[in-house]
Amino acid sequence: MRITSKGQVTIPQAVREKAGFLPDTEVDFVVQEGAVVIVKAAGGKRLTRGAKTVRTLRDHGRYVSMSTDEIMALTRGDD
């Protein structure tokens, strides 16, 4: 196995399955007795950029003081 110029290494599928590393699993690198060990990160999963955007958009909706019917009337052009 070889480290790329970007410092990347492909973990073989059998090793990923045995360790329970699914796609998007957060991991930490720990040096133990001269060896590097990959372990699941304790903090859990970080939010993706898309998830952060959705959370932000949902938060902004809380500040709208109009009802759904009032918003729909505006979009339809009802007077």
Considering the domain architecture, whether residues 54 and 69 belong to the same structural domain is answered as yes
Tell whether 1 and 39 lie within a shared domain.
yes
Residues 66 and 45: their CA atoms lie apart, in Å, by 35
pLDDT per residue over 34-78, tens digit each? 999 999 888 766 778 888 888 888 777 667 788 888 888 989 977
Residue type, 69: D
Cα separation of 44 and 33, whole Å? 25
Split into its structural domains, the chain has a count of 2
8 pLDDT band, cuts 50/70/90, is: very high
Same-domain pairing of 22 and 39: yes
Neighbours of 19 (CB within 10 A): 14
